[in-house]
A and B are shown apart, each in its own frame.
Chain A
Amino acid sequence: MDYSQFLMMPQEIGLLIVFLLVFLFDTFMPKRLQTSLSYITCVLFAVYTAVSMICPLKGMAFAGMFESTAATFVMKQILNIGMLIVLIQSIKWANEDFTIVRRGEFYELLLVTLFGMYLMISARHFLLFVIGLESASLPLAALVAFDKKRYESHEAAAKYMFTAMFSSAIFMMGLSFVYGIAGSLYFNDIAFKVAGTPSALLIVALAFVISGVGFKLSLVPFHLWTADVYQGAPTAVTSYLSVISKGAAAYAFLIIMVQTFGAVYSQVWEWMLYALIILTITLGNLFAIRQRNLKRFLAFSSISQAGYIMLGVIAANEIGMASLMYYVLVYIFSNLAAFGVISAIENKTGRVGMDDYNGLYHTNPKLAFTMMLAMFSLGGIPPFAGFFSKFFIFMGAVKTGEVAIYILVLIALINTIISLYYYLLVVKAMFIVEGDCVVPRIKSETSERLGMTICTLGIILIGPASCIYTFLTLVVKDGSSMFCFIQ
């Protein structure tokens, strides 16, 4: 065996080293030193993220099962940044009395799921992809159930477990059909085999594959688990689920659809996705309007955001792919800012209702300000980053030039107005509604403040700093041969 192939996967190896160090530290360190586990994990991960900025080798490894390109590298790095913020934000929660004894598991499981997502991103063979998919979703069920004294947490974990298993089963059913058609599970082999007039079997297979990934992305109508799981899981896990897990799944989905099934783009899956996007954006938005629990609220908001991300997939071109990565990056910062505020308030007061935020500006102006920036960015208001990412992802979609896509984008744009309505409801509660705020003045922890500062800076700077988007376009251009199958 040629061991130099491992040079293709420096990020995976680095993450494994971090995982092992955390595991060893957690297991063998004496009790009195263990108090610093959270900080050590953060520092280790930060060091790893910084070190892995060194560009890796490009190419295929393990007989073409694993591919490392500039785009996969950058996408993993985007996830790393999000992961780092999640880790920083969860320090306070991890050091609480009821989690401190088990927080080693929290970090280890988190790192394992991230490893799974790396595999999903880099896999060029469905076997490896499924391994990644499973190791990204099963540990998450344990994480969702982390608050083992809370009833909702159990309920959420059970729901997550069942839907994850169910969706994996459907996905693999689809894969077996694909294998039947193509006789191979390599992405590139399948791409050549599916060209031409699609058979009925292929349509069914694609429907299964899309629904399987649709569960992970919580696209409507596969979204029913989302709200309960988001509400029941600990906030740190919810924020992880909503940004990192979703971002990785979206990117992997784009790769599968474009690289593997690109040849039947306009014949089969463009229309499947078209319907899914409209449903996802619209229903996600409409349900979000009625939510009074902020975690449920963000669950539905993230459903509709997933619909916008899918516009980058339906575009199936370089602008779309770059915009998808950019959208995920911006979404990480915006959503994590919102979750940072929610967890800061939840940790101190245990309140997550929207009505509890009434008049928040008068007691906690900085928290309210951060929350407002997050809402504006999610709603796509300039000059915040969300506006740029929305605009670019729309441009990517419209570039296909079909009238139907114009209509799709128009529907998406009208939906941004609906989404703006409910994002403004939060702003209204914090700034406009009078009355005494039930949340007292909070002195937030240094770690929470650090997390929120990073997010705020990201929201303000990522948009106007055009170099980021330009860089992503260059990165995508590097591997643009994958779009050659699209027709």
Chain B
Amino acid sequence: MIFSNILIYFVVIPILVLGCLFATKNIKQVRTVVVIGASALMVLALYLVYSFLQQRGAGNASEMLFRYDAVWFKPLNIHFALGVDGISVVLILLSAFIVFGGVFASWRMDPLPKEFFLWFFLLSTGVFGFFISIDMFTMVMFYEVALIPMYLLIGVWGSGNKRYAAMKLTLMLMGGSAFLMLGVIGIYFHSSADPNNLTMNILTIAQNNAIPHSWQYFLFPMTFVGFGVLGAMFPFHTWSPDGHAAAPTAVSMLHAGVLMKLGGYGCFRIAIFLMPFAAQQLNWIFLILTGISVVYGALSACVQTDLKYINAYSSVSHCGMVLFALLMLTNTAVTGAVLQMLSHGLMTALFFALIGMIYGRTHTRDIRKMGGMMNIMPYLSVCFVIAGLASLGLPGLSGFVAEMNIFVGSFMHPDLFHRILTIVGTTSIVITAVYILRMVGKLLLGQVQDKHHLTLTDANWYERLSTLTLIVGIVTIGFFPSFFVEIIKNSLSFVKALVM
């Protein structure tokens, strides 16, 4: 029975929330519904981690746990197949955290709060559905479900040049998914040596290992670029700054925090996992592109003056690092990539939440027009510093663990080319420090630029709740990385065989 599987509830709960939202009459009911929904997802995610660890502890070493499989479209052998490994578990946890934080960050959403949360939870449905699927068809489906609400979320509730940004973001991401769809169809038709036994199930495809090498050369770039667009790979990253700058706070959080992880996860799960041969042969092209993302994103962030643009470019840099590490194909680097997904998700969501809160008070995001916020809103400022330090990789916070793993792991690659690229990549750490410290210095320290700012208030309860949730996550990863490494280690077994 499908409802005895815990995973399905990650899709059922958001859909129930959607249904209840349709019936709500006033803002109070809307808030009640979304808070209950987000909390339920959070509890469910924590329970999933618990039972996952318990199963692993009991010696269940299979690739995917909590498997469920039901035939959906029989003629094409499309299944509704669920299953999670360590990587999806931690990403589900991350998504639950950020959905929870996002609900509180958009507590006073205006206008049309009901419609906002409708789209918000439709997006969450897509995100969770993507992480729990192991069938390529449902993955693509949930992937697009997660993308399309962005158009209305940015277009209706955004700010600035929102119509342009919304259209650009939607079309670029859907453009990526067009390549992806062809890639997926191509993989399907080469998924098995027996043409009567084609399948969309990624575990079976990996087991069959039947995709001819010549086809891998074609299908790997298709799928990698398809997901890479969402992972902000150069030169397809340009939607990110515009989109994030125009999006409302909670949407930026969810988008940078979770949605961009869909890109990294998809690259890993479909492109690299299913086509390891092409991943080894072609990774140099994509390493160069993602390397450019890493350094170029960081450099761009240095010259921006809009807080959201700074953070958006910083996201390009950090998400580029995820793809960069995945392509290195060493165990440590891939571990680092997963940690970086978590770390970046929490930290960037925190950043966007704080920027939203500051913007809601000062009505400007230009760092030249602000200053001395430390005295005016100490709580928010301290959170801001924490987020900044996590971003530049201070030990004890999540960023350090992730970047350490990534760069050590990448340098472990025996090839000189990869090592040189790693060295180039590490420069981004320095550049990150430049723009973070510049931003902190201008925004929080120094003279108050505008005397109206002196009357501003510090965070209220729902803002504190939202930020604290995320900070707890960041510190937990920083202090107990081994906990997360433990969860994901079984999922990386195939990576070991790839290098050398």
Contact = CB atoms under 8 A, between A and B. Distances in A.
Contacts, number: 86
A401 interface: yes
A153 B189 CA distance: 49
A55 B138 CA distance: 34
A420 B185 contact: no
Contacts of A209: none
Interface stretch (B173-181, B258-266, B294-302, B309-317): B173-181
Contacts of A410: 178-179, 182
A470 B73 contact: yes
A288 to B, nearest CB: 15
B137 interface: yes
Contacts of A387: 141, 144
B75 A417 contact: no
Contacts of A399: 189
Contacts of A316: none
Contacts of A420: 170-171, 174
Interface in A441-484: 466, 469-470, 473
B421 interface: no
B73 A398 contact: no
Given A382-B145, A413-B179, A424-B167, A470 B185 contact: no
Nearest to B155: A432
A428 B156 CA distance: 9
A424 B179 CA distance: 20
A470 B167 CA distance: 36
Interface stretch (A63-71, A92-100, A122-130, A389-397): A389-397
Interface residues of A, number: 32
A427 B162 CA distance: 14
B321 to A, nearest CB: 28
Interface string A423-437: 010011001100000
Given A387-B144, A431-B155, A466 B74 contact: yes
A421 B163 CA distance: 12
Nearest to B173: A417
B104 interface: no
A417 B156 contact: no
A432 B218 CA distance: 39
A385 to B, nearest CB: 12
A365 B74 CA distance: 38
B72 interface: yes
B163 A432 contact: yes
A466 B73 contact: yes
Contact of A424 (B145, B151, B182, B185): B151
Contact of B152 (A413, A417, A427): A427
Contacts of A409: 182, 185
Most buried by B among A322, A391, A399, A421: A391
A410 B72 CA distance: 26
B73 A414 contact: no
Given A391-B137, A427-B151, A421 B171 contact: yes
Interface string B78-89: 100000000000
Nearest to B154: A432
A413 B174 CA distance: 10
A3 B78 CA distance: 46
Contacts of A473: 74-75
B186 interface: yes
A466 B175 contact: no
A291 B145 CA distance: 28
Interface string B184-213: 011011000000000000000000000000
B76 interface: yes
Nearest to A395: B185
A392 B186 CA distance: 13
Contacts of B74: 466, 470, 473
Nearest to A433: B163
Given A428-B167, A431-B152, A470-B73, 20 more contacts: A322-B75, A383-B145, A391-B181, A394-B181, A395-B76, A395-B185, A395-B188, A398-B185, A399-B189, A410-B182, A413-B179, A413-B181, A413-B182, A414-B175, A414-B178, A420-B171, A420-B174, A424-B151, A432-B163, A466-B73
Interface of A: 319, 322, 376, 381-383, 387, 391-392, 394-395, 398-399, 401, 406, 409-410, 413-414, 416-417, 420-421, 424, 427-428, 431-432, 466, 469-470, 473
22 contacts: A376-B148, A382-B140, A382-B145, A383-B141, A387-B141, A387-B144, A391-B137, A395-B188, A398-B186, A398-B189, A409-B185, A410-B182, A413-B181, A413-B182, A414-B178, A417-B174, A420-B170, A421-B171, A428-B155, A432-B155, A470-B74, A473-B75
Interface of B: 72-76, 78, 137, 140-142, 144-145, 148, 151-152, 155-156, 162-163, 166-167, 170-171, 174-175, 178-179, 181-182, 185-186, 188-189, 218
